[in-house]
Amino acid sequence: MNHIPVHLSTSSVYPENAAYAFDLAQRLGYDGVEIMVWTDPVTQEAGALNALAELHELQIGAIHAPTLLLAQRLWGWEPWGKIERALDLAAEVGAQCVVAHPPFRWQRGYAEGFVEGVAEREERWGVPIGVENMFPWRTGASAMQAYLPGPDPRPYPYANVTLDISHAATAGTDALELARDLGPRIRHLHLGDSFGSFKDEHLVPGRGRQRCQEVLEFLVEQEFTGVVSLEVGTRRMSSPVREEALAESLAFAREHLGQHDLPGARRHTS
């Protein structure tokens, strides 16, 4: 049976740093780490990341480019420059893909050639760019389409997509339906649950109402060759509660990927 790697995103330990994420991932039994490029300088340095990966005997599965709203100043203001630096970093650390958000609607020049620009850079670097599904920005009854060419990747000819279950919930989209429609275009999965709130909740899988189990089982059926990455919000948790939540997240993923004998398949107890 294909062993689908289960990784821990460094965003799941925020505000702790990347070194903590690697240490925790090893202790809990994750297969590797996804790097969210952030103000922590280690997330921007291939040498430091390779040293941590070697020390903890973990893979680096993906580099999440700094395309978030709060990361607009990281690596300069030029959007393609951010993507290209992320591709360079991915190549240097052996990551199998770069995760990127679609452009914001005010980045019109970037957005106009985005689909073609992604394909061109994938070919040039030889690293897939998993464009992530996003969602309208909602406040009560009103909603704004914040992304161009659009938040839903299905209508666009991206070769590779990062499917984020929490984002699908925030958009009011059934994640399993989205997974089925995308099929082999799914390169990377962000696993996190939600009640469908407009807040983009990123809950521990199994604690919300999304079809996390069914999405994982679908990936197994499809002989998925990418990485499942836990992207769970723990910012307000104490360290012991965070560690238990991320152990529970790993155990959920292992169970529904059929990985019952792998590290972390049973709940961690301290």
Beta bridge partners of 193: 203
What are the structural domains, with CATH classification, of the chain?
Answer: 6-256 (3.20.20.150)
Interatomic CA distance for residues 232 and 95, integer angstroms: 20
Cβ atoms of residues 266 and 260 within 8 Å:
no
At residue 270, does pLDDT exceed 50?
A: no
Residue 196: which residues within 8 A CB-CB, separation 6 or more? 169, 170, 172, 209, 210
What is the rounded average pLDDT of the residues 61-79?
88
> Looking at residue 269, what is its pLDDT?
46
8 A C-beta contact, residue 147 and residue 134: yes
- What DSSP element (H or E) covers 103? none
Beta-carbon contacts of residue 260 (< 8 Å; ≥ 6 apart):
254
Q: Which residue has the higher pLDDT, 106 or 270?
A: 106
Rounded-to-integer distance, Cα 217 and Cα 215, Å: 5
DSSP state of 232: -
Query: 81 with 117: CB under 8 angstroms?
Result: no
Give the DSSP H or E segment for 33.
strand 32-36
Tokens 């922590």 belong to 40
Of 33, 2, 31, nearest in space to 19 by CA = 33
What is residue 76's predicted lDDT score, i.e. its pLDDT?
Answer: 85
Cα separation, 177 vs 190, in Å, equals: 16
Percentages (nearest 5) of helix, strand, coil residues in the chain: 40, 15, 40
How high is the pLDDT of residue 139? 66
Q: What is the pLDDT of residues 166-186, one digit of tens each?
A: 999 999 999 999 999 999 999
pLDDT in tens, 177-236: 999 999 999 999 999 999 998 888 999 999 999 999 999 999 999 999 999 999 999 999
- In whole angstroms, what is the distance from residue 125 CA to residue 255 CA? 35
- In the chain, how many H helices and how many E strands? 9, 10
Q: Among residues of the chain, what percentage have pLDDT more than 70?
A: 96
